[in-house]
Structure 1
């Protein structure tokens, strides 16, 4: 079994596992709050008006995403400037956990309280994801990024599956199927987040700065100054810029799957039981999908791995489009098994492509600017969530099949843009540190363990 351990032989095992623990922690917010329960609670209990419930939820979620887009780059720049990645990671995680618990205080009709709690909670969760990803260059050698990112993503998906089982079991055994009885799940999600952040607090280390932060500037001003210098020198990181552009395109496709999977499944006639099973299938397939970057990305290359995974997704989206057109013409006689196959492949793609993208960005990012560049990465993926609007408009106006054509086109565009990335050149620039005006961080404390 030791030979099957993906992190075998890597240094800083304790550091890596404390980092993975935060990946596990924030799964409670991803699954229970953003995906499964809180959207239904918000629309059915808080708003309880079918004429405006979906609109108000869209406004609330979009507001949190736009704040994340605005805040992510400057937060990352400040973290790098002051060597505050760990304090900001822990601070956002604990604050999000507390706000998540407070969601359990919302009574029917308390719209403003729901918005005042959820919007900052989702902002903190989203920015925390950026800080978490920015630690990747601190934890492993560049040729190990795919393995570490993929394994962590897989453990996080496994945690999501555990959370799904706990939630489903509690609903069934305690008779909590009514949305008005779900407040306890929100408290549980917050406590889970806080509990699994504890190992990160005590074990994870941040690289010390090689030089003190520049004096004479306030906190916010110094972050803007640093971000301004980066934008002026962005040409030397052109391969990273191209990757971020590609990420915006295929990240939109990933966001469609996350936010519209259950809606699409309903369009194809799935019942409530089928929907739970469908989400479980996507989650299990996501765990399997993380094996691709874990096992082959560092050997095959980040670009080739990304193109391979995008190819699988393009074929899946195209097949799903054909299925939708067939279902439109003869829903009663169209078998359901192709949809289950597509669900498996979409889940596989979510796990593998998400992890592969994080590792690819890490490979093209100088260690001295990881907070800043992963802040830009977070901004791009939150913009991708906003960019699902064309998909939604086409779906409402022209139907499901036409909207899946839009999904496929986003993925194809992302594939084409990825072809223009020079991985070798970008990696050499990142390894060299880029702009000499940014001091390379000092080494981490020597590892005390090497793993099983």
Structure 2
């Protein structure tokens, strides 16, 4: 029988409308958790010698995040489905965002002592779980604040806000806490007070910028018979819907698989970019930070440009062009970065090559990420976006080992760090090849998927 209710798409008259700005504000705020807590500052602190040594602490952190990834993979689709059915998408976005902020703030109590390593890892891992759950509901809102003709631009704008928000948060953290330009109580390094206060700052930053979406975007309508479905029964409905989607729209499943692969490669570009810059090209820490800032700016510009093309030529072509650009740029870094050479009468060094083609890589990452989200939003039946983005999170987690494993494998084979780039390129190429035969989404929202 047909799904009991449908969710109306709420058109945005212009890109910089109140609902779009409020929605993108969440992306801006979430960068404090992504960039500050899990990438550049707090996890670096957790893996320092103060917690038992880099190797040991890194192993514990990796294990904790792996367990968090398992929870996300198992629960994300069902939590998204239940927020769709119960008409509580915005509610659960707020609840999960609040949980992330609270868990992040609690990291203040992780003093630099080995016995507190498990507490720190547990808090970061739990925050990751709730962050992904919030992300499912946040991504599902994309259809509410856009139209089929503007969805690409809106998605690209959101990604750009995330990149720029990360830069803003990192700069504040750098000049106020890590390398303070003025003395204040929060700059004290005793008991790592400055780093622990970074956690409080990140929590407040995220919470403040997550609030606007709660007031500017309406809740989705509640579907009839929502209370009759128990939590475990939700899995039965999930599998039946997956079968129904495969039967009525198999290319949706194929896209989920393709995007899971190339999104792992996209994540690896940023994950290992700084590592390669320092290890292969000899960048100092200050240069790595500068490269990260410039790279995020260029990625934001790329996301906005890609969004405009998305609405004109469709997300599939944007993703294909972006992946090809990534493959060409990555190959240039690998081949041309091996030695100094002369190009059109100009002497280029390896680090110059990385600045040019490494930044070109970041230009293509933004459009691929933003159009991937817009692609799935176009494929999702109205009222079932949460469930679809839950599957999006699950498939991504299922293959998240690919790029790191191949990166390490090729380093082991060739004995040099720069050859790890081959592993990233292989994942991007595999994602591109799987995507090519996938049917592009229609600009008109798909028909309702039948559910038992």
TM-score interval for Structure 1 and Structure 2 normalised by the shorter chain: 0.7 to 0.9
Which of the numbers 140, 153, 161 marks the counterpart of 1:155? 161
Q: Is the CA contact (8 Å cut-off) linking 2:15 and 2:154 kept in structure 1?
A: no
1:390 match: 405
Among 225, 248, 254, the residue aligned to 1:213: 225
Q: Deviations over 1:392-432 (max 9, x none)?
A: 431551332332112111111111111112125x666x522
Large movers: runs of 4+ above 6 Å = none
CA RMSD in angstroms, aligned pairs only: 2.3
How much does 1:127 deviate? Answer: 1.7
CA distance in 1, matches of 2:336, 2:443: 41
Q: Deviations over 1:285-315 (max 9, x none)?
A: 1111112223211101111111111111110
Contact 2:336 2:350 in 1 (8 A): no
Tell me the SS of whatever aligns to 2:291. helix
Which runs of no fewer than 5 residues in structure 1 stay unpaired?
1-6, 328-332, 439-452
Going from structure 1 to structure 2, the CA distance change for 1:287 and 1:216 (only over 3 Å counts) comes to closer
1:77/1:224 contact within 8 Å kept = no
Query: Of 80, 103, 110, which residue of structure 2 is paired with 1:106?
Result: 110
Partner of 2:320: 307
CA shift digits 1:23-66 (9 cap, x unpaired): 11211101100111011110115523134232222222222222
**Cα distance between partner residues in 1 of 2:401 and 2:239:** 25
Q: 1:217-249 deviations in whole A, cap 9, x for unaligned?
A: 32x134223212212213122111111111122
Partners of 1:177 and 1:157 lie apart in 2 by 29
278, 282, 285: which one pairs with 1:266? Answer: 278
Q: Does 1:418 align with 2:423?
A: no
Distance change in 2, residues 1:261/1:11 (3 Å): closer
Aligned length: 422
Whether contact under 8 Å (1:27, 1:156) holds in the other structure is: yes
Please give the per-residue CA displacement for 1:93-118, whole angstroms capped at 9, x wherever unaligned: 01100110111110122022112211
Specify the alignment match of 1:89 in structure 2.
Answer: 93
Quote how far apart the aligned CAs of 1:214 are: 4.2
Which residue does 2:257 correspond to in 1?
245
- Is 222-231 or 354-363 further displaced after alignment? 222-231
Give the Cα–Cα distance (whole angstroms) in 2 for the partners of residues 195 and 403 of structure 1: 39
Residue of 117, 126, 129 corresponding to 1:120: 126
Change in 2 beyond 3 A, CA 1:414/1:165: same
Change (3 A) 1:126 1:323: farther
Does 2:188 align with 1:184? no
Match of 2:62 in 1: 58
Q: How does 1:306-385 map to 2 (within 5 A)?
A: 306-326=319-339, 334-385=349-400
Instruction: Quote how far apart the aligned CAs of 1:319 are.
Output: 1.1
- Residues in 2 aligned to 1:8 and 1:92: alpha-carbon distance in whole angstroms: 26
Q: Which of these residues, 417, 420, 438, is aligned with residue 403 of structure 1? A: 420
C-alpha contact (below 8 Å) 1:81/1:226 kept by paired residues: no
TM-score, normalised with respect to structure 2: 0.87
Q: TM-score of the superposition, structure 1-length normalised?
A: 0.87
Cα deviations by residue, 1:124-168 (Å, 9 ceiling, x for unpaired) = 112211210011111221121101111122122221121122122
The 8 Å contact of residues 394 and 402 in structure 1, kept in 2 or not, is answered as no
- Residue 87 and residue 46 in structure 1: after superposition, are their counterparts in 2 closer, same or farther (change >3 A)? farther
Partner of 1:288: 301
Cα deviation, 1:328-359, whole Å, max 9, x if unaligned, reads xxxxx943111011221122122221111111
Match of residue 231, structure 1, among 242, 255, 262? 242
Do the aligned residues in 2 keep the contact of 1:78 with 1:222 (CA within 8 Å)?
Answer: no
Q: Is the 8 A contact 1:316 1:346 kept in 2?
A: yes
Q: Deviations over 1:342-383 (max 9, x none)?
A: 221122122221111111111111112100000011122333
Q: Is the partner of 1:24 in helix, strand or coil? A: helix
